[in-house]
Chain A
Amino acid sequence: MEQLLEVKNLVTTFKTKHGTVKAVNDVSFSLVPGEICAIVGESGSGKSVTSMSILRLIAQNGTIAGGEILFEGEDLLKKTEKQMRAIRGKDISMIFQDPMSCLNPVFTIGYQLEEVLKLHNKSMKKAERRARIVEMLRLVGMSNAEERLKQYPHELSGGMRQRIMIAMSLLLNPKLLIADEPTTALDVTIQAQIMDLITDLSKRLNTAVILITHDLGVVAGAAQKVIVMYAGEIVESAPVRELYYHPKHPYTLGLLKALPRLDMEQYSLQPMPGSTPDLLLEHEECPFFERCEQAMECCRKKPPFFQIAENHIARCWRYHPDFLAYQNQTEQEENSHA
């Protein structure tokens, strides 16, 4: 199938008073239309910066220092700011953890939804706009839509605001929806409804979704493909079942073992030692080196990706096709240095 989005070797850095932070380092992945791809990883691993880079919405002190972002074959990094404005919200839209960050408290829901349509579709008549908005609200499961249009954001619950934001983001039939922790602030019963809504709409409207979350439970039920990020880099990427049932990278393995399982009895959690590395320092070794229980001498050099199976890659020396020979060789080199 034709790729919708291809991110190639993306590097995004930030200048801070302590030095340069490499928040996203050599990240590549792609999506086909209608596909739901999850990006997981802990706080600071670069999930949000990756998605904001796609929209070219990174903070003032940030730079996209390398790579390509092909959307329907065209490099978004080569577009003018004006062209990007036309793409944002229309072809690619985004929902955030906090719906209030994109809803204005002083305008009614109806007014705000209409503004989105006006901005991108000048020829649409008022009645058509209304009809489209009511249709969208029904689609996101809001009862008495006409009533809702007259309400202000603060009059709605958190789950309803999140639905409004989803409705808003889908008004213009985007081809790609980026959902950054869309349910983290919500209670689990509401989270389940919102996740069902997102997966259902993606199927019905053939919208591709980048789902950013740290919750591996949410991912298991929603995504077709999973990307695991660690310290700004992708460490493993695989189709969803492959990732959960045959994880390969020591970080992914450790993460799955550290998760509590409601459906299991009599098990013990295996904590992962240590904490994430400092992104301010240039690392020559594997970014997981400090915490990895399987680390070897050869891991002092950064591993490339190794192919595990179709569409399954892992960035770890253990999956070097000729691993034993490679390990011996580095150890010998090390000994001869000593």
Chain B
Amino acid sequence: MHEQEKEILLSVRGLKKYFSLGHKKVLKAVDDVSIDIYKGETLGLVGESGCGKTTFGRTLMRLYEPTDGQILFRDTDIAHLNRKQLAPFRKDMHMIFQDPYSSLDPKMTVSEIIMEGMESDPTLPKKDRAARSLELLEIVGLNSDHANRFPHEFSGSQRQRIGIARSLAANPKFIVCDEPISALDVSIQAQVVNLLKELQERMGLTYLFIAHDLSMVQYISDRVGVMYLGRLVELATSDELYHRPLHPYTQALMAAIPIPDPDVETAKSRIPLEGEIPSPVNIPKGCAFCTRCPYATDQCRQERPSLQEVEPGHFAACHLIHQ
């Protein structure tokens, strides 16, 4: 993507999603995240298990009720719209789930599954739906023979293709892909990732691509955001993030990712992270990473660093860098 053609599709401001766990305990799964998502880009989102990636995606989709913040989509803040007000936006946003086994209804045929995805698009006449579902099957690399079969007759990557066809059914503009390849074998992950790339070019789609496999995220994404305990700690283009990670957490993460090359791996020096990962209901007062950060100072333990643009397009939330 070129600088000048950047147009914001979705603008997220101060988004929070807190879960109440009873006994006055609150889990801040997404805590004050602000980010712009550009039209036609793939924004990757990485971070360790439980850092809030899925919650962020689901809250954007309004599958979760946001605790606070704004989600500006087509000049409207959709964060607090009710069901009815939300209906016209539904067709533009879809989600692809991690598990291709449980996310498809086993009692429905493939074409029924895809046609269900068209429900959110009232402009599509009922009579055209069957034909459109066959068209979609071809787009994702399956064929009309598959239309009347059931999900259990397909392999994992074929099921994921069906899931993709369903999410494309209503001609969305924005798709949240939540770990779309994690359940697949390495040899076929590339099939699905390349399909997603191809569809993006063809249909001008915008993706939020969530995964814990950073190598794959970097491959597919234009920009990558790194989350840690509910907060966005760094955001940059994917090459920049790999070559010049600024946040100490991102640096440790990058050093820890195994590269399939014995010489690279043996020559590598890791950044050992000591200290405990805090419980998500008891996040430290200052920087969430201060318990494990090799450079933490008193300031880090007291004040929460904000996400700042350190260089054009490269954001980080760390006191060390802001100085």
User: Which residues of A pack against B, CB within 8 Å?
Assistant: 42-43, 157, 187-189, 191-193, 195-196, 214-221, 240-241, 244-245, 254-256, 258-263, 265, 268-273, 275-276
Q: Are B218 and A221 in contact (CB under 8 A)?
A: no
Smallest beta-carbon distance A275→chain B, Å: 4
Chain B residues with CB under 8 A of A271: 187-188, 190-191, 193-194
**A residues near B239, Cβ cutoff 8 Å:** 265
**Please, which residues of chain B bring their CB within 8 A of the CB of A255?**
186-187
A42-B185, A260-B218 given; A189·B48 CB < 8 A: yes
Given contacts A244-B262, A272-B187, 15 further A-B contacts (CB under 8 A): A42-B187, A188-B256, A189-B273, A191-B256, A195-B258, A214-B185, A216-B260, A220-B261, A220-B262, A241-B262, A260-B213, A260-B218, A261-B259, A262-B218, A263-B261
Question: Would A261 and B260 count as touching, CB distance under 8 A?
Answer: yes
A244 and B261 contacting across the interface, CB-CB below 8 Å? yes
Bound CA span A258–B186, Å:
7
Which of B155, B257, B273 interacts with A217 by CB under 8 Å? B257
Chain B's closest residue to A159 (CB) is B277
Residues B190 and A188 in contact, CB atoms below 8 Å apart: no
Asked if B253 and A221 make an inter-chain contact with CB atoms under 8 angstroms apart, the answer reads no
Minimum distance in angstroms from A147 CB to a CB of chain B: 13
Interchain nearest-CB distance for A309 vs B (Å)? 16
13 contacts between A and B (CB under 8 A): A188-B257, A189-B48, A193-B273, A217-B260, A217-B265, A218-B258, A220-B264, A256-B260, A262-B214, A262-B257, A271-B187, A271-B191, A275-B185
A-contact bits for B158-198, CB 8 A (1 contact / 0 none) = 10000000000000000000000000011111110110000
Residues of B within 8 A of A268 (CB): 194
B266: Cβ under 8 A from any A Cβ: yes
B188 touches A220 (CB 8 A): no
Report how far A256 CA is from B255 CA in the complex, Å. Answer: 21
Q: Which residues of B contact A (CB under 8 A)?
A: 48-49, 155-158, 185-191, 193-194, 212-216, 218-219, 239, 242, 252-266, 268, 270, 272-273, 276-277
User: Closest residue to B214 on the A side, CB-wise?
Assistant: A262
Q: How far is the CB of A38 from chain B (nearest CB, A)?
A: 11
Q: What residues of B have a CB within 8 angstroms of the CB of A261 in the complex?
A: 215, 219, 259-261
User: 7 tightest A-B contacts by CB?
Assistant: A217-B258, A221-B265, A271-B190, A187-B48, A192-B256, A42-B185, A260-B215
When distances are taken between beta carbons in the complex, the residues of chain A under 8 Å from B266 are 221
- Distance from B230 Cβ to chain A, minimum over Cβ atoms (Å): 15
Most A CB within 10 A of own CB, among B158, B218, B255: B218
The answer for the CA separation of A262 and B253 in the assembled complex, in Å, is 12
In the bound complex, how far is the Cα of B256 from the Cα of A42, in angstroms?
Answer: 23
Smallest CB separation, A37 vs chain B (Å):
14
